[in-house]
Structures are given as structure tokens and as C-alpha cells.
């Protein structure tokens, strides 16, 4: 591996710095982020998913068959723990419906590619991390729209008396276009043009990281006033959502007798969501709720910080065993 390739991999591993630094810059001086256009969000999400697809090959899918218990537990916790937490927070906290929609979307989305970077830094089970991200992403086409519809209609019926009609079909189509198509294209390119893909793979993680940074910074910059005026409870809700996701992911894995490495991996996968996907689904499917994109942006910032802390704790735990 050349020095340039190692340099770009190192840049990608500093993703929490880019996310946190960019977020503070966007809130301090919004003009640094408002050059980004909202219509670019699907394109940049496609780049992120394509980057993920370029790392996948047949062995990754065969690995799912080889470790069915780990995959089943990870996906089971992903689509039960987080949605239930999102539903509970949306029900119990007195948040505007825009924020409720955004939190539910975050909770019902699959794991994000950032979790793979955190698992790498944490020295946990990277193969399991990639497998869980892949399977949860593929499953999201069906599970995310259905869970989102069920929860938003239930919460809105109880809070405002009238259920919000969710376009489930629209969510399905958008999730398929944003998630599945780029991943499949990336995997096919990796299969048929492996030599070419190997040359660019060292650079794609950093491109993916910066893509999510651009999306998050833009939303934070545009919604700055709303965040400062009504965002304290929202921030608390997002922090609780991800913190409990990390903790429950780890301790429930330990309860089911998984070893430390696999428990750490599942914890990171459960705690870190594809917040960019949640943001775009909110923007494209709930146009009447303009603040529904804000929880996704705050979520990306939050789980990057918590993920960095989790990685550090995993490294400390590893040292304590030596």
C-alpha cells in the first residue's frame, strides 16, 4: 500500500473529527455549509452506499451463512431495540411532530457505514460488522418503511388525535433507490472489475465520510435557529436513543453468551444508525414536516461522538485482558 493510500485511510479513520468539527463550524458560520444543495442529498447518499458496495464480495455474503447466530442476534437487536427506543421517546417526550418523525426514522434505519470504521478503530470483529451492516441495509428496504409507518401513525393518533398518513410505498421505493441500487452496483463492480476497484478502495472511505459530513453540516446550518430555540429536548432524546442503543446492544449480547469482541461489535452496530438515510427519507417523504430532517443531522453528530467513546472503551478493555 502506498503512502498516499495509507494517508487517505488515516483521514477516514478520523471521521469523528470531521463530523464534530464540521458541525460546530456550520453552526458558528452557516455560510460554510449552505453552498450544499438539498437536491444533492440523494446523490451523496448514493456515493456512500456505492462505497460500501465496492467493499463487498461473495465471501462477505457467504460469511452470513457461516455465523447465523451472530447475524440473527445483531439484526434482531437492530430492528427491535432501536425502534422501540425511538417509539418510546417519541411517545413520552413532548416533542413537535416533526422531531417525532425524525427520531422514529433514525431509530428504524439500518446501521451505517461509519460503524465499520468505529469497529476497525475499536479492534472488534470487523467481518461481523460488515456483515451486519450489509444485511441490515438490505433488510431496510422492507423493515424501515413498515416500522416507520406503524410507529408514526400510532404516535400521531395518540398525540394529535388523527393518524398521519404515511406513504409506505414511497418509503419503500426511496429506500430501494437510495440503498439497494448503489450497493448492488458497487458489489457488481467489485466482482467484475476487482483490479480497478482495488485501486480506488483506499480512497472511498474518506469520500463516504465527507459525503455524510456535507449532508449533516448543511442541515445543521439551515436549521440553526430552530435547533437553538427548541433543540435541547431533541438533543437529549437523540443522546438517550444512541446511548441506550450502545448499552443494550452490548449487555443483551453478553446475556446471550456472546464473547467480548462480538458483543462490542453488535453494540456499535446497534448504536450507530444510517442517519443520512433517515434525513433523506424525512426530506423526500414528509415535505409538510420541514424540521423532520433535524434529528437525523443531530443523530449523525451524536453517534459519531459516542462511537468514538465506545471505540476507546473497547481498546481499554482489550488492554485490561493483556
pLDDT by 10-residue block (mean), the chain, 322 residues:
82 80 89 89 84 76 76 92 92 87 92 78 79 85 89 79 66 76 85 88 84 85 79 87 95 90 91 87 86 88 84 73 54
C-alpha span between 211 and 117 (Å, rounded): 15
Residue 178 CA from chain centroid, whole number:
13
C-alpha span between 322 and 47 (Å, rounded): 40
Domain extents in the chain: 3-320
Q: How many residues does the chain have?
A: 322
pLDDT per residue over 14-58, tens digit each?
877 888 888 889 889 999 999 998 888 888 888 887 887 887 776
Residue 49, CB half-sphere, CA atoms under 13 Å: how many? 28
Residue 190, CB half-sphere, CA atoms under 13 Å: how many? 21
Q: What is the pLDDT of residue 181?
A: 83
pLDDT per residue over 211-247, tens digit each?
888 888 888 888 888 777 766 888 899 999 999 999 9
C-alpha span between 112 and 183 (Å, rounded): 13
Q: Into which CATH architecture does domain 3-320 fall? A: Up-down Bundle (1.20)
Q: What is the pLDDT of residue 106?
A: 93
- Which residues are bridge partners to 111 per DSSP? 273
CA-only gyration radius of the chain, Å: 19
- Which residues are bridge partners to 273 per DSSP? 111
Q: Which residue has the cell 443523530?
A: 299
- Which residues does 262 contact at the CB level (< 8 Å), separation at least 6? 70, 124, 125, 128, 253
Long-range contacts of 10-14 (CB under 8 A, 24+ apart): 11/206, 11/209, 12/117, 12/205, 12/206, 12/208, 12/209, 13/117, 13/120, 13/121
Amino acid at each position: 500500500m502506498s503512502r498516499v493510500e495509507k494517508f487517505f485511510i488515516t483521514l477516514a479513520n478520523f471521521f469523528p473529527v470531521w463530523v464534530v468539527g464540521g458541525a460546530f463550524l456550520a453552526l458558528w458560520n452557516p455560510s460554510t455549509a449552505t453552498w450544499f444543495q438539498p437536491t444533492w442529498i440523494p446523490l451523496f447518499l448514493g456515493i456512500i452506499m456505492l462505497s460500501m458496495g465496492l467493499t463487498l464480495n461473495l465471501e462477505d455474503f457467504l460469511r452470513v451463512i457461516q455465523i447465523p447466530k451472530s447475524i440473527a442476534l445483531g439484526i434482531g437487536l437492530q430492528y427491535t431495540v432501536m425502534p422501540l427506543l425511538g417509539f418510546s421517546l417519541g411517545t413520552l417526550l413532548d416533542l413537535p411532530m416533526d422531531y417525532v418523525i425524525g427520531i422514529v426514522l433514525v431509530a428504524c434505519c439500518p446501521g451505517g457505514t461509519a460503524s465499520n470504521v468505529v469497529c476497525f478503530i475499536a479492534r472488534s470483529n470487523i467481518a461481523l460488522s460488515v456483515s451486519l451492516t450489509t444485511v441490515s441495509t438490505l433488510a431496510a428496504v422492507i423493515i424501515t418503511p413498515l416500522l416507520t409507518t406503524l410507529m408514526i401513525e400510532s404516535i400521531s393518533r395518540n398525540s394529535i388525535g388523527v393518524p398521519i398518513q404515511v406513504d409506505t410505498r414511497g418509503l419503500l421505493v426511496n429506500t430501494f433507490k437510495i440503498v439497494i441500487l448503489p450497493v448492488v452496483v458497487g458489489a457488481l463492480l467489485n466482482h467484475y472489475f476487482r483490479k480497478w476497484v482495488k485501486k480506488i478502495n483506499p480512497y472511498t472511505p474518506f469520500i463516504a465520510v465527507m459525503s455524510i459530513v456535507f449532508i449533516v453540516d448543511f442541515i445543521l446550518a439551515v436549521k440553526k435557529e430552530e435547533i437553538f430555540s427548541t433543540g435541547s429536548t431533541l438533543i437529549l432524546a437523540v443522546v438517550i436513543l444512541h446511548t441506550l442503543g450502545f448499552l443494550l446492544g452490548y449487555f443483551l449480547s453478553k446475556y446471550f453468551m456472546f464473547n467480548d469482541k462480538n458483543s462490542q461489535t453488535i453494540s456499535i452496530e446497534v448504536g450507530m444508525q444510517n442517519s443520512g438515510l433517515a434525513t433523506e427519507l424525512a426530506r423526500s417523504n414528509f415535505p409538510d414536516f420541514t424540521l423532520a430532517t433535524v434529528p437525523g443531522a443531530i443523530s449523525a453528530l451524536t453517534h459519531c461522538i459516542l462511537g468514538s467513546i465506545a471505540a476507546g472503551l473497547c481498546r481499554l478493555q482489550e488492554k485490561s485482558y493483556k
